[in-house]
Amino acid sequence: MNIFDRIKKDHDEAREVMSKLKDTTARAEKTRLELFTTFKNDMWAHHKVEEAVFYNFLRDVTKMSKDSYEALNEHHVANGLLEELDTFPVTSEEWGVKFGALSEIIEHHMDEEEDDFFPTAKKLLSKETADLMGERFDARKKVVLAAIMPMDEKEFEAA
Ligand SMILES: [Fe+2]
Ligand SMILES: [Fe+2]
């Protein structure tokens, strides 16, 4: 899967989780917390790996530095809001309002990547590079997600 399809796959999954989260009410505490934890970890890993694999190359090797910095800045803002959301109970009114704002930022960012950034980047990457980037993205994201999972009891026992 090339880098564009691989990133789009994550975006579509994120869109689905965001729409599920929007459908939850403050009473569905457990579901909301579970969905949000998955969403938060996945988005954080997505942003970090996207920066390391995709934007880093486009910024340094091609002339897309301005657009790359803009995207990186949006990642920074979104990651900050994800962390901030973690400090509010998922049942609070603040959480709902902040999640609404965050999802708008993320949706806008993903649409911009797909509609504006991808077409330009596609012209700059060879098929081989785009394929290799897709593979690297997938492999690295698995490692990042595994690395940020809390240790379970069995791992403590083995220590
Ligand atoms: Fe992004
Ligand atoms: Fe993205």
The length of the chain is: 159
Cα of 85 vs centre of ligand 2, distance in Å, is 20
Q: Which tens digits make up the pLDDT trace of 94-117?
A: 899 999 999 999 999 999 999 988
Number of H helices, E strands in the chain: 8, 0
pLDDT tens-place string over residues 43-57: 999 999 999 999 988
Distance CA 44, CA 135 (A): 19
- Å from CA of 59 to ligand 2 middle: 15
The residue-averaged pLDDT of 63-82 equals: 88
> Is 71 in contact with 106 (CB distance < 8 Å)?
no
Residue 88's region, left for phi above 0, alpha for psi from -120 to 50, else beta, is beta
pLDDT, tens digit, 9 for 90 and up, residues 135-156: 999 999 999 999 998 888 888 8
159 — pLDDT class (breaks 50, 70, 90): low
User: How far apart are the CA of 32 and the centre of ligand 2, in A?
Assistant: 23
Q: What gap in Å lies between CA 77 and CA 121, rounded to an integer?
A: 23
- Reported as half-sphere exposure (CB side, CA atoms, 13 A), residue 27 has a value of 0
Ligand nearest to the CA of 11: 2
Nearest ligand atom owner, CA of 68: 1
- Both tokens assigned to 3: 């880098």
Q: How far is the CA of 90 from the centre of ligand 2 (A)?
A: 25
pLDDT in the model for residue 85: 93
User: So what's the pLDDT on residue 68?
Assistant: 81
Q: Of the candidates 22, 43, 33, 11, which has an alpha carbon nearest to the alpha carbon of residue 141?
A: 43
d(CA 26, ligand 1 centre) in Å: 28
Return the biggest CA–CA distance within the chain: 52
